[in-house]
Amino acid sequence: MKKFISILLVFCLSGCTVLDFVTDDNQNQTINSYKNDYKDTNTTTENQTQTKEGFTVKNSDNKNNKNQTKNGFELVDNSKKELQSLYLFYYEQLTPLQKTVYEDLYAFMKKPTSIYELKKPVKLEDLSPALYAFMYDFPESYWMWNYRYRIGDSGKVTELEFIVPEDLETKWAQVDAIADNVVAAVANESDYNKLKYFYEWIINWTIYQSNECDQDYTSVFLLKQSVCAGYARAFQYLCKKAGLKCTTVRGQTNESHAWNLVELNGKYYWIDVTWGDPVNDDGSQSLVYYYFMVTDELLFRTHISLNGQVPVGSYEKIDVFTFPQCTDNSLTYYAQNGAYFDTYDYYAIRNYILQKLYENPYQEISFQIGDQASFQYAVEELLKNNRYITNIFSEYFPGRYYYNAITKDDAGVITVQIVS
């Protein structure tokens, strides 16, 4: 006797509701509104197209497709070599068995069909980490998050069923055309400048807004609107194209959220592109660098936790993935621009502000103070009690002037600007 289990993986970050397996308690319930009428793939004798709730699904043809075998796609000989040339953060944390499943999924993704028969049945606790790792390592596998699996008499998973979008290859090509142009624009830049450019490009290109595909990278590249899942995956994909080491992670802020982990010169850094694109009170969006190449100490003032768990079945979750420490503060935007101060130093800050005023008296001037207690003291001294900021401005503007001041408490950033 075989039983069927439906799974819907959602990478919805809201808002931001992150990637989690959602399963129905009742096996006869539906997933994505289509009935659980999964038929044995052995009954398929010719290629045909079926439609399930608006999705066009290509059925597998084991007889006519010479690239398939009875147990699904043969692993292309060079697939493992191709994988070895890529940065695969999650793959490297899998067991040998799980890596084999992952490698087969890579070959399958190149020529996907609706039914994928595993070469060898595996336990769900091995399939789930492999599938989860694969989909996180490859943003282009976005369509694979919605799937069903079949458990055979042995109690192991034997088949997976996917909804393969009819326009999948078209979307892949459209995304690649845009991404290749973005990467080409900074082909001769340093890796750091590439990361910064990709960060800025996504923010300038994208409006923070939910849509029908906001959980995958196509929402950024093709629709120019997304939420944190799309932001993170688009950034990861640009990095992948440029040969940079980057992955998407999920965790918790005041809600479920996704951001990126970057490895550069043997050290790790956090980047949150979504939080670099805040929505202002008037509905406009800004470009800020509060969470660009930052440390654990700064990130986890607001990002409460990381999630390395993988759901197995309807209710159980297992711990699979771990994350490195990020301790180097030298590559933050503020450190790179001479605008970082470990503690409150009035004269050092004064000199920095005056330097910026002489460059352009009406520009926004931002600086960061690393120690939180020192930052709070600086806010009191510069902007509230003594308003020492006026003394600094008066050294450049001897007459009357007006200024704006903004503080980002959790990032330790003060921004001031002369407006008239």
Q: Look at residues 267, 288, 319 and tell me which one is the last residue of a structural domain.
A: 319
- Do the Cβ atoms of 408 and 392 come closer than 8 Å? no
For residue 275, being part of any structural domain is answered with: yes
How many Å apart are CA 70 and CA 63, to the nearest integer?
A: 9
How many Å apart are CA 158 and CA 116, to the nearest integer?
A: 9
Please report the pLDDT score of residue 146 as a whole number: 87
DSSP string, 205-266: H-EE---TTTTSTHHHHTTSEE-HHHHHHHHHHHHHHTT-EEEEEEEESSSEEEEEEEEETT
Same domain, 157 and 51: yes
For residue 331, being part of any structural domain is answered with: no
- Do the Cβ atoms of 270 and 263 come closer than 8 Å? no
Same domain, 14 and 152: yes
Residue 317 has pLDDT above 50, yes or no: yes
Give the H/E segment covering residue 24. Answer: none
Confidence at 34, pLDDT banded by 50, 70, 90: very low
Confidence at 211, pLDDT banded by 50, 70, 90: confident
Q: What is the mean pLDDT of residues 114-135?
A: 95
In the chain, what is the greatest distance between 2 CA atoms, to the nearest angstrom? 87
Q: Choose the weakest-confidence range: 26-40, 212-226, 319-333.
A: 26-40
Crossing angle of helices 124-137 and 96-110, in 10° steps, is 50
Q: Indicate the pTM of the whole model.
A: 0.81
- 3 state DSSP class of 72: strand
Q: What is the average pLDDT score of the chain?
A: 83
Please report the pLDDT score of residue 101 as a whole number: 95
For residue 41, being part of any structural domain is answered with: yes
For residue 326, being part of any structural domain is answered with: no
- 3 state DSSP class of 328: coil
Q: Choose the weakest-confidence range: 20-24, 165-169, 338-342.
A: 20-24
**The two structure tokens encoding residue 176:** 């690649």
Q: Look at residues 97, 130, 162 and tell me which one is the last residue of a structural domain.
A: 162
Q: Choose the weakest-confidence range: 36-50, 99-113, 139-153, 331-345.
A: 36-50
User: Which range in 28-32, 66-70, 282-286 is most confidently predicted, on average pLDDT?
Assistant: 282-286
How crowded is residue 15: how many other Cβ atoms within 10 Å of its Cβ?
Answer: 13
Please report the pLDDT score of residue 45 as a whole number: 27
Percent residues over pLDDT 70 in the chain: 81
For residue 272, being part of any structural domain is answered with: yes
- Do the Cβ atoms of 255 and 238 come closer than 8 Å? no
CA distances from residue 159 to 106, 142, 150, 293 in whole angstroms, order as listed? 16, 19, 5, 41
Same domain, 173 and 302: yes
User: Which range in 28-37, 45-54, 228-237 is most confidently predicted, on average pLDDT?
Assistant: 228-237
pLDDT in tens, 163-205: 999 999 999 999 999 999 999 999 999 999 999 999 999 999 9
**The two structure tokens encoding residue 77:** 């000989």
Same domain, 300 and 344: no
Same domain, 138 and 265: no
Per-residue burial over 55-94, b if 16 or more Cβ lie within 10 Å, else e, is: bebbbbbbeeeeebeebbbebbeebeeebeeebbbbbebb
pLDDT in tens, 249-284: 999 999 999 999 999 999 999 999 999 998 877 777
Q: Is the pLDDT higher at 235 or at 214?
A: 235
Q: Is the pLDDT higher at 210 or at 178?
A: 178
Same domain, 181 and 313: yes
Same domain, 224 and 141: no
CA distances from residue 62 to 45, 46, 114 in whole angstroms, order as listed? 7, 8, 12
Strand partners, 256: 252
Beta-sheet pairing, 309-312 with 316-319: antiparallel
Same domain, 300 and 368: no
Radius of gyration from C-alpha coordinates of the chain: 25
Residue 6 has pLDDT above 80, yes or no: no
Q: Is the pLDDT higher at 382 or at 15?
A: 382
Residue 40 has pLDDT above 90, yes or no: no
- C-alpha 84, offset from chain centre: 22
Q: Where are the beta strands (DSSP E) in 24-71?
A: 49-52, 55-58, 68-69
How many Å apart are CA 140 and CA 240, to the nearest integer?
A: 11
DSSP string, 265-304: TTEEEEE-SGGGSPBPTTS-B----TTEEE-HHHHTTT--
Please report the pLDDT score of residue 75 as a whole number: 41
For residue 329, being part of any structural domain is answered with: no
Same domain, 37 and 63: yes
| Cβ contacts of 121 within 8 Å, gap of 6 or more | 152, 154, 156, 157, 158
| Number of folded domains that form the chain | 3
Same domain, 258 and 219: yes
**The two structure tokens encoding residue 179:** 């991404």
| Cβ contacts of 297 within 8 Å, gap of 6 or more | 327
For residue 256, being part of any structural domain is answered with: yes
Q: Is the pLDDT higher at 209 or at 204?
A: 204
Same domain, 303 and 375: no
| CATH code, domain carrying 298 | 3.10.620.30
Same domain, 178 and 156: no
Q: Look at residues 162, 187, 211 and tell me which one is the last residue of a structural domain.
A: 162
Domain range spanning residue 391? 337-418
CA distances from residue 264 to 21, 196, 246, 360 in whole angstroms, order as listed? 31, 13, 9, 33
Confidence at 214, pLDDT banded by 50, 70, 90: low
- C-alpha 420, offset from chain centre: 40
Please report the pLDDT score of residue 286 as a whole number: 85
How many Å apart are CA 226 and CA 234, to the nearest integer?
A: 10
For residue 332, being part of any structural domain is answered with: no
387 sits in the region (left: phi over 0; alpha: psi -120 to 50; else beta) called left
